[in-house]
Each structure stands twice: as C-alpha cells, then as structure tokens.
C-alpha cells in the first residue's frame, strides 16, 4: 500500500504578480513577459504562409484558418455563454451558400460577398437557433446539430441552389497570398477581439448567463436576448469562415453541411484547451495538418483522429494552452505533507 506523502505546490511567479498591475510599464522585462506570448503567436501566424514548401500546404493554411474561426466560435459559445453548439456546419453551409449566390446570381465581387454573407448568414443562423435558445447543454447541442443535416436534405430534395451538384465557378481570391493572409488576419482579429469582449461588462453578462442564468433574470436582463447576441457573434465568425471556404474551393455544395465542420472544432478546442480562446486556434494548427498528413490512410484517418482525441481527454484533459499557461505563470514544486 502506498501513501501519498507529497503534493504539488503551485505558486505564481513574482513577475506575473507584478505584471498584473501597472508596474509592467516600468521595465522592459515585465513588459515583454506580458507581450511576448502574444507576439510569438502573431508573428508565427503571419510567417506561416512564407514557411510553407508548396501550394498544397499553403492551401492547408487557409483551411486551418477556416477551422480556427469555427473553433473560436465554439469555444466562445461553450465556455463563455454556456451554449454547447454543434452548429459549425450550419454556419459554414449558410455562409458558403450565401456567398455563392451573391457572387454567381448577383455578380457581386468578393469584397462584398464575404462581409454580406457573414452578416446576413449570422442573422439567418440566429433566427434559426432562436427557438432553441432556452435549451441548455446537450439539448442545445442536439438541436444545433440537426439543422445542418436537415438543410442539406432539404436542398437535395427540393433541388434548389444547384441541388446535389452545388454551385460551381465562384470567384476565387485574387491569389494565394490574399487568401491566406485574409484568413490569418481574421483569425487574429477575432481572437483578440473576443478576448477583449469577454472581459468587458457585456462579456461578464455572457459569463453570468453561463454561470447562473436565473441570477441574470433576477437582475432584470433577458437571458434569451444575450444568448441571441452571443449566437450572432459566433455565427458571424462561422459564416465568415463559410464564405471564405466557398471562395477558396470556388464551390458551394451540400458537402459543406458536413459534420466535420461541427466536430473538428470541438476536437481542436479539447486539444488546445477550452476557455483560453488561443487554445482552439492552436488546436486547429495541430489537427488540420495532421488530418492532411493522414489523408493517405483514407477513412481510417477518422479512427486515428478519434484515438488522438481520446488520448488527450484521458491524459491531458486540460489542453495544451492551459498547461502552457500554467508553466509560464507558475512555479511548481513538490512539498511533503
């Protein structure tokens, strides 16, 4: 029989404690302690396309950005608003089809289709999800998963929007660089925007809705309204990703309502660390290239995926980012008890 006679003690580093206050402005060391991780992320993301060996891998970067936007929206809704949304495919599909229709039928250029598809797509998704907003947890997840499945079948059955063939010949991005850097800049904008948002007063209300929606009601605020606003924000990101995807593939079809877009962001969030917002982006940077590398295995890659995911949940359920943050901010040492 073994006795546990020690435990891990965690202490905040002095520099973290000081850097939390205004003192950080007083020394370069403390200033860089605060900004360095952010700079590494930004610089890394911006350099990524330059480091890619060929066109194929540059395309992968665009896909990473699309999934990163979805993962960000999932993490925001799940961790800060308490809505576990599997609507990734719904957002992607809606955004992609809208961009395709605006581009092909109305002949609008990509400068207009992407913002227009993001906003109107987000409105449509919010309206669709509005009746389910009182639902919580897994119930909301189920309903948000049903929408993309249903819409794909409706398009198929009614043979609208090109039916099973989809809409082809959509205008592409002017060149590869625009495509990649547009995605990267959008991911960075939404990442830092969301991080700021959740610490604003309205962000606290979102977190309040997750923590305790009855108390929010008792404070004279409509829970449904704030949930709708949050879903709109998340859907904007998703539809933006969808619009980018349709312009990247030059195609919009029912395959864009596929479950991948709902599931992979969750996997990325689990691996990256939920609730950190940067974590899901990191998760996508790992998962999407792995998924590309495994492409030669065919459908077996889903199985390998599942194993990776399970391993993470069992052995490192906190996620990479949470782990990294802890190591960065805290000392750890064993102490006798």
Partner 1 sequence: MNEMPILQVQEVTKTFGGILALNRVSFDVREGEILGIIGPNGSGKTTIVNCITGFVKMSSGKIFFRGKEITGKPAHKIADLGVTRTFQIMRPYYSLPAYKNLVIPLFSPRAKRTGGWRGGGKLGDRNTVGIDILEEIGFERDSFVPYKMASALPTGYLKRLELARCLALRPEIVLCDEVFSGLSMSEIASMVPLIERLQMDGITLIMIEHRLRELFRVADRVLVLNFGEKLFEGTPEEVMANEKVKKAYFGSEEVEEVMTYA
Summarize as ranges the residues that interact with partner 1 (CB under 8 A): 201-202, 204-205, 207-208, 210-212, 214-223
CA distance 180 to 65: 8
Question: Shortest Cβ distance from residue 326 to partner 1 (Å)?
Answer: 18
Question: Shortest Cβ distance from residue 219 to partner 1 (Å)?
Answer: 4
Nearer to partner 1, 148 or 208 (CB): 208
Sequence length of the chain is 337
Q: Which residue has the tokens 């010949």?
A: 169
CB-CB neighbours of 294 under 10 Å: 16
CA distance 192 to 28: 22
Question: Shortest Cβ distance from residue 207 to partner 1 (Å)?
Answer: 7
Question: Shortest Cβ distance from residue 226 to partner 1 (Å)?
Answer: 10
Q: Which residues, listed in sequence order, are joined to residue 10 by a DSSP beta bridge?
A: 332
Half-sphere exposure of residue 307: CA atoms within 13 angstroms, side-chain side: 7
Nearer to partner 1, 230 or 252 (CB): 230
Question: Shortest Cβ distance from residue 108 to partner 1 (Å)?
Answer: 38
Tell me the two tokens of residue 81.
């608003």
Question: Shortest Cβ distance from residue 214 to partner 1 (Å)?
Answer: 6
Does residue 180 contact residue 62 with C-beta atoms inside 8 Å? yes
Nearer to partner 1, 111 or 218 (CB): 218
The dihedrals phi and psi of 87, each to the nearest 5 degrees, come to: -85, 15
Does residue 127 contact residue 231 with C-beta atoms inside 8 Å? no
Question: Shortest Cβ distance from residue 202 to partner 1 (Å)?
Answer: 7
Nearer to partner 1, 166 or 203 (CB): 203
Could you write out the DSSP letters of every residue in 157-211? HHT-TTGGG-EE-PPPPSSHHHHHHHHHHHHHHHHHHHHHHTTSHHHHHHHHHHH
Nearer to partner 1, 210 or 247 (CB): 210
Question: Shortest Cβ distance from residue 311 to partner 1 (Å)?
Answer: 28
Give every CB contact of residue 31 below 8 A, 6+ residues apart in sequence.
Answer: 24, 25
Nearer to partner 1, 32 or 219 (CB): 219
Nearer to partner 1, 193 or 275 (CB): 275
CA distance 242 to 261: 10
Nearer to partner 1, 80 or 161 (CB): 80
Q: Which of 73, 65, 62 is nearest to 277 (CA)?
A: 73
């Amino acid at each position: 029989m073994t006795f546990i006679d020690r435990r891990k003690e965690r202490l905040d580093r002095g520099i973290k404690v000081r850097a939390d206050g205004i003192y950080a402005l007083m020394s370069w060391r403390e200033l860089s302690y605060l900004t360095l991780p952010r700079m590494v992320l930004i610089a890394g993301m911006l350099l990524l396309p330059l480091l890619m060996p060929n066109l194929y891998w540059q395309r992968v970067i665009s896909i990473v950005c699309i999934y990163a936007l979805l993962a960000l929206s999932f993490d925001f809704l799940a961790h800060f608003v308490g809505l576990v949304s599997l609507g990734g495919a719904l957002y992607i599909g809606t955004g992609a089809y809208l961009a395709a229709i605006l581009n092909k039928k109305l002949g609008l250029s990509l400068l207009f289709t992407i913002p227009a598809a993001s906003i109107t797509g987000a409105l449509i998704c919010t309206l669709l999800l509005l009746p389910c907003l009182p639902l919580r947890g897994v119930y909301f997840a189920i309903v948000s998963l049903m929408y993309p499945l249903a819409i794909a079948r409706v398009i198929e059955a009614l043979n609208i929007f090109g039916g099973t063939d989809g809409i082809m010949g959509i205008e592409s991005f002017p060149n590869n660089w625009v495509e990649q850097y547009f995605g990267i800049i959008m991911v960075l904008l939404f990442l830092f925007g969301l991080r700021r948002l959740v610490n604003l007063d309205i962000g606290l209300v979102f977190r309040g809705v997750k923590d305790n929606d009855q108390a929010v009601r008792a404070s004279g605020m409509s829970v449904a309204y704030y949930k709708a606003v949050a879903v709109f924000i998340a859907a904007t990101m998703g539809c933006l990703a969808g619009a980018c995807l349709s312009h990247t593939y030059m195609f919009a079809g029912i395959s864009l309502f596929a479950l991948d877009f709902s599931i992979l962001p969750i996997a990325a969030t689990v691996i990256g660390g939920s609730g950190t917002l940067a974590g899901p982006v990191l998760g996508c940077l790992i998962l999407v290239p792995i998924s590309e590398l495994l492409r030669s295995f065919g459908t077996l890659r889903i199985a390998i995926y599942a194993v990776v995911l399970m391993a993470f949940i069992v052995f490192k359920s906190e996620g990479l980012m949470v782990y990294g943050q802890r190591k960065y901010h805290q000392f750890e040492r064993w102490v006798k008890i």
